[in-house]
Amino acid sequence: MSVAEQWNFAGPGVLCEPRGDEPRKPGKLSAMSSNKPKMPVRIREMREEDLDAVLAIEVEAFPVPWSAANFWSELGFPGISHLLVAEPEDKPGAVAGYACYSLIVDEAHITNFAIRNEHRRRGVGEQLLLSLIKRARSQGACSATLEVRVSNEAATRLYSKFGFAAAATRKRYYPDNKEDALVMWVLFGSEDRDSPESG
């Protein structure tokens, strides 16, 4: 079963707990800096020929990586599953990072997001996430959600820049070490609507 088929904010058997005294309301999409990134990239749709590079980053980034079959399954659900890659402007065809999201009615669920180690802290993640949000918004999304390990402070900081707020905790969510996941949400306003970048 694909991630798109399993998509559910509070899926069966997954416990979501509020974050103590923190507000449970989703955050509001934040305005981003217009500073030129250290590594400009072109965001485009993932293609079959990208999979080897994507799988290498997946193994590098995650203790429980997606398999090739997982990516193929997602590619088989156009209109629901959307897969993007960040291609360095000075290296056409290379993959610096990628993102996957599922669009269900008016909610975008970010299911996978990774940047190659050597390209981190160079603005690639911000460019990729901003493009994802613009695309999802132009497709009718009113909000976005994701799960992130409680220990992944770098990712949490990135998402917070875009207005994502921690709304709940999924206990023992990750199978490798039973680590909890933060559930983060952001709401989009009408002023956030934009057309997706070309590609």
DSSP state string for 120-140:
TTTTHHHHHHHHHHHHHHHTT
Q: Is the dihedral of CA 62, 55, 141, 15 positive or negative?
A: negative
Q: Which amino acid is at 73?
A: S
Question: Which of these is catalytic: 159, 174, 179, 197?
Answer: 159
89 is catalytic: no
Contact 86, 127 (CB under 8 A): yes
- 159 is a catalytic site residue: yes
Q: Which two tokens stand for residue 122?
A: 């160079």
| Active-site annotation holder among 58, 107, 147, 173 | 147
Active site positions, annotated: 147, 159
